[in-house]
Amino acid sequence: MSDRVMTMPERGWYSLTVREETAKGVRELAKTKGLTVDALINEFMTPTLKGVWLTCSLCGARVKAGNMPKHMARVHPKTIGR
Instruction: Kindly report, residue by residue over 21-50, the tens digit of the pLDDT.
Output: 888 888 899 999 999 988 888 887 776 666
pLDDT at 42: 82
The secondary structure of residue 80, as a DSSP letter, is T
For residues 40 and 32, what is the distance between their CA atoms, to the nearest angstrom? Answer: 11
- Residue 31 has a CB neighbour count (10 Å cut-off) of 12
- My answer on whether 9 and 31 are in the same domain is yes
pTM above 0.75, yes or no: no
Give the domain range for residue 71: 48-82
- My answer on whether 40 and 54 are in the same domain is no
- My answer on whether 63 and 82 are in the same domain is yes
- My answer on whether 9 and 40 are in the same domain is yes
Mean pLDDT of 6-12: 56
- My answer on whether 25 and 56 are in the same domain is no
Max Cα separation, the chain? 58
pLDDT tens, 61-80? Answer: 999 888 888 999 999 988 87
- My answer on whether 33 and 52 are in the same domain is no
pLDDT at 71: 92
- My answer on whether 38 and 54 are in the same domain is no
For residues 16 and 20, what is the distance between their CA atoms, to the nearest angstrom? Answer: 12
Give the chain's domain count.
2
